[in-house]
Amino acid sequence: MGQGIVALASDHAGVELKSALKSALEAKGRAVLDLGPFDSESVDYPDYADALAKALGEGRAACGIAVCGTGIGISIALNRHRHVRAALCYDGTSARLAPEHNDANVLALGARLIGVEVAKECAEVFLSTDFAGGRHQRRVAKLA
Protein backbone atom coordinates (compact mmCIF):
# COMPACT_ATOMS: atom_id res chain seq x y z
CA MET A 1 0.00 0.00 0.00
CA GLY A 2 2.94 2.27 -0.01
CA GLN A 3 3.66 5.07 2.41
CA GLY A 4 0.54 7.23 2.01
CA ILE A 5 -1.33 8.77 4.91
CA VAL A 6 -3.20 6.27 7.09
CA ALA A 7 -6.54 7.50 8.45
CA LEU A 8 -7.51 6.17 11.88
CA ALA A 9 -10.99 6.15 13.39
CA SER A 10 -12.75 4.31 16.16
CA ASP A 11 -15.62 4.42 18.56
CA HIS A 12 -15.27 4.74 22.34
CA ALA A 13 -14.49 1.04 22.73
CA GLY A 14 -11.63 1.29 20.27
CA VAL A 15 -10.07 4.60 21.28
CA GLU A 16 -7.33 3.02 23.42
CA LEU A 17 -6.30 0.54 20.72
CA LYS A 18 -6.46 3.28 18.08
CA SER A 19 -4.09 5.38 20.18
CA ALA A 20 -1.64 2.48 20.53
CA LEU A 21 -1.74 1.87 16.77
CA LYS A 22 -1.19 5.56 16.08
CA SER A 23 1.93 5.58 18.25
CA ALA A 24 3.26 2.40 16.64
CA LEU A 25 2.66 3.68 13.10
CA GLU A 26 4.24 7.06 13.80
CA ALA A 27 7.25 5.34 15.38
CA LYS A 28 7.73 3.53 12.07
CA GLY A 29 7.60 6.83 10.17
CA ARG A 30 4.05 6.55 8.83
CA ALA A 31 1.93 9.67 8.46
CA VAL A 32 -1.35 9.34 10.36
CA LEU A 33 -4.63 11.26 10.19
CA ASP A 34 -6.45 10.63 13.48
CA LEU A 35 -10.16 11.26 12.97
CA GLY A 36 -11.09 10.56 16.59
CA PRO A 37 -12.57 10.13 19.01
CA PHE A 38 -9.97 11.21 21.51
CA ASP A 39 -11.52 9.99 24.77
CA SER A 40 -13.72 7.11 25.93
CA GLU A 41 -17.00 9.03 26.07
CA SER A 42 -19.71 7.05 24.28
CA VAL A 43 -20.00 7.81 20.55
CA ASP A 44 -21.66 6.19 17.54
CA TYR A 45 -19.31 4.19 15.30
CA PRO A 46 -21.16 5.05 12.04
CA ASP A 47 -20.18 8.71 12.47
CA TYR A 48 -16.50 7.81 12.63
CA ALA A 49 -16.80 5.30 9.81
CA ASP A 50 -18.31 8.06 7.68
CA ALA A 51 -15.45 10.42 8.59
CA LEU A 52 -12.89 7.80 7.55
CA ALA A 53 -14.73 7.08 4.29
CA LYS A 54 -14.88 10.83 3.57
CA ALA A 55 -11.12 11.18 4.15
CA LEU A 56 -10.47 8.37 1.67
CA GLY A 57 -12.92 9.79 -0.86
CA GLU A 58 -11.37 13.24 -0.67
CA GLY A 59 -7.84 11.85 -1.01
CA ARG A 60 -6.75 13.02 2.44
CA ALA A 61 -5.66 9.44 3.19
CA ALA A 62 -4.57 6.49 1.09
CA CYS A 63 -6.02 3.84 3.39
CA GLY A 64 -7.43 3.45 6.86
CA ILE A 65 -7.66 1.52 10.08
CA ALA A 66 -10.96 1.43 11.97
CA VAL A 67 -11.57 0.05 15.45
CA CYS A 68 -14.69 -0.66 17.47
CA GLY A 69 -15.45 -3.20 20.17
CA THR A 70 -15.77 -6.15 17.78
CA GLY A 71 -14.80 -4.52 14.49
CA ILE A 72 -18.09 -5.74 13.03
CA GLY A 73 -20.19 -2.60 13.33
CA ILE A 74 -17.59 -0.20 12.02
CA SER A 75 -16.74 -2.51 9.10
CA ILE A 76 -20.42 -2.72 8.12
CA ALA A 77 -20.74 1.06 8.29
CA LEU A 78 -17.58 1.54 6.21
CA ASN A 79 -18.65 -0.90 3.53
CA ARG A 80 -21.79 1.12 2.85
CA HIS A 81 -19.48 3.51 0.96
CA ARG A 82 -18.77 2.28 -2.59
CA HIS A 83 -15.12 3.39 -2.58
CA VAL A 84 -14.34 1.54 0.67
CA ARG A 85 -13.40 -2.11 1.00
CA ALA A 86 -13.10 -2.65 4.74
CA ALA A 87 -11.94 -6.04 5.98
CA LEU A 88 -12.37 -7.25 9.53
CA CYS A 89 -9.12 -9.01 10.38
CA TYR A 90 -8.02 -10.92 13.44
CA ASP A 91 -4.50 -12.14 12.67
CA GLY A 92 -1.57 -11.57 10.35
CA THR A 93 -2.84 -13.97 7.71
CA SER A 94 -6.24 -12.31 7.34
CA ALA A 95 -4.53 -8.90 7.39
CA ARG A 96 -2.29 -9.98 4.49
CA LEU A 97 -4.99 -11.63 2.41
CA ALA A 98 -7.43 -8.71 2.68
CA PRO A 99 -5.35 -6.29 0.60
CA GLU A 100 -3.62 -9.01 -1.44
CA HIS A 101 -6.77 -10.78 -2.68
CA ASN A 102 -9.57 -8.27 -2.03
CA ASP A 103 -7.78 -4.94 -2.53
CA ALA A 104 -9.06 -3.88 0.90
CA ASN A 105 -8.26 -0.26 1.71
CA VAL A 106 -9.43 -0.27 5.34
CA LEU A 107 -8.40 -2.64 8.10
CA ALA A 108 -11.11 -3.14 10.73
CA LEU A 109 -10.19 -4.45 14.16
CA GLY A 110 -12.11 -5.49 17.26
CA ALA A 111 -10.55 -3.94 20.37
CA ARG A 112 -12.40 -6.32 22.68
CA LEU A 113 -11.33 -9.38 20.69
CA ILE A 114 -7.62 -8.99 19.95
CA GLY A 115 -4.68 -7.69 21.92
CA VAL A 116 -2.49 -4.72 21.16
CA GLU A 117 0.41 -6.78 19.81
CA VAL A 118 -1.82 -8.73 17.41
CA ALA A 119 -3.42 -5.46 16.28
CA LYS A 120 0.03 -3.94 15.62
CA GLU A 121 1.00 -7.02 13.61
CA CYS A 122 -2.24 -6.80 11.62
CA ALA A 123 -1.65 -3.13 10.88
CA GLU A 124 1.94 -3.61 9.77
CA VAL A 125 1.11 -6.60 7.55
CA PHE A 126 -1.97 -4.90 6.08
CA LEU A 127 -0.10 -1.71 5.28
CA SER A 128 2.88 -3.51 3.73
CA THR A 129 0.84 -5.76 1.42
CA ASP A 130 -0.07 -4.81 -2.14
CA PHE A 131 -2.99 -6.02 -4.22
CA ALA A 132 -1.96 -9.07 -6.25
CA GLY A 133 -4.24 -8.25 -9.17
CA GLY A 134 -4.42 -11.06 -11.71
CA ARG A 135 -7.35 -13.39 -11.14
CA HIS A 136 -8.40 -11.28 -8.14
CA GLN A 137 -8.89 -8.15 -10.28
CA ARG A 138 -11.97 -9.56 -12.01
CA ARG A 139 -13.58 -10.38 -8.67
CA VAL A 140 -12.79 -7.03 -7.06
CA ALA A 141 -14.15 -5.23 -10.13
CA LYS A 142 -17.51 -6.90 -9.52
CA LEU A 143 -17.68 -5.26 -6.08
CA ALA A 144 -17.93 -1.83 -7.71
Measuring CA to CA, which residue among 32, 112, 44 is closest to residue 74?
44
Options 68, 81, 122, 136, the catalytic residue:
68
Options 12, 63, 81, 101, the catalytic residue:
101
- The verdict on whether 63 is a catalytic residue reads no
Give the separation between CA 37 and CA 131, rounded to whole angstroms.
30
Q: How many CA atoms lie within 13 A of 65 on its CB side?
A: 35
Q: Which helix (H) or strand (E) holds 127?
A: helix 116-127
Q: DSSP letters along 41-95, please? A: S---HHHHHHHHHHHHHTTS-SEEEEEESSSHHHHHHHTTSTT--EEE--SHHHH
- The verdict on whether 12 is a catalytic residue reads no
62 Cβ partners below 8 Å, 6+ apart? Answer: 1, 2, 4, 5, 6, 56, 105
> Looking at the annotation, which residues are catalytic?
68, 101
